[in-house]
Amino acid sequence: GEDVEQSLFLSVREGDSSVINCTYTDSSSTYLYWYKQEPGAGLQLLTYIFSNMDMKQDQRLTVLLNKKDKHLSLRIADTQTGDSAIYFCAETLSSNTGKLIFGQGTTLQVKP
């Protein structure tokens, strides 16, 4: 079935690295995404990874994909207070063009 799960809350100190984890159940996932949502706002696409890749790096963001374990992670280096937000993992399936399946979101709290 289609299911994406995330831990609900993560708290880090400013300057530390943050790692947000996500697991998914459907092995036919094609793209896996990370979105950021600030209070009262829509979703901002941070990065995405194609399912045949293991890693993608984009400035302070590193995405790791373990396809065997169906595990995706987002690492934010040198976390800043402006990174405080809710982070959503999402997948698209090869059988469902364009339909995004989201996790419930991880709230990242960055303490000064």
Select 12 or 48, whichever has its Cβ closest to other proteins. Answer: 48
Q: Which regions of the chain does DSSP assign to beta strands (E)?
A: 4-6, 9-13, 18-24, 29-37, 43-50, 55-58, 61-66, 71-76, 85-93, 96-102, 106-111
Select 7 or 30, whichever has its Cβ closest to other proteins. Answer: 30
Q: Rule CB under 8 A: which residues touch other proteins?
A: 4, 30, 33, 35, 41-45, 48, 88, 90, 92, 94, 96-105
The residue whose two tokens read 């990065």 is 47
Cβ 51 to other proteins shortest distance, Å: 12
Cβ 50 to other proteins shortest distance, Å: 11
30, with CB counted inside 10 A (0-12, 13-18, 19+), is middle
Cβ 33 to other proteins shortest distance, Å: 8
Select 14 or 107, whichever has its Cβ closest to other proteins. Answer: 107
